Amino acid sequence: QVQLVESGGGLVQPGGSLRLSCAASGFTFGGYVMSWYRRAPGKERELVASAGDYTKYAESVKGRFTISRDNAKNTVYLQMNSLKPEDTAVYYCNALKTSPGFRTDYWGQGTQVIVSS
């Protein structure tokens, strides 16, 4: 059974830090691109960061967030520093594998991040 379990969300003051974790099971973790998405209230879901052969970040989080993965632990992390109120959202972990004619992706249940004083 495939599972992606996020943790580490919470309430933090502007300028603070949080570290999100996503523990994966039920699939071959190393063969998937692992990403973090977020959905803010009233907004579309957006890609925050992804880690596959290379990492990439949304412009809004570059220099503040760092994605990393530990393939031995089947876990992906998102270190979030210098948090801003506009980072408030539900953060979702995603696992994606594609090849010609094939696509599989899995989603976690999400973890809430609230940045507020």
| Tens digits of residue pLDDT in 4-19 | 999 999 999 999 999 9
| Tens digits of residue pLDDT in 42-53 | 999 999 999 998
The residue that leads in pLDDT, 88 or 102, is 88
| Tens digits of residue pLDDT in 58-80 | 999 999 999 999 999 999 999 99
Classify residue 114 by burial, with Cβ atoms within 10 Å: 0-12, 13-18, 19+: middle
pLDDT at 99 exceeding the cut of 90? no
User: Distance between CA 56 and CA 52 in Å, rounded?
Assistant: 9
Average pLDDT value for the chain: 96
User: Distance between CA 96 and CA 109 in Å, rounded?
Assistant: 16
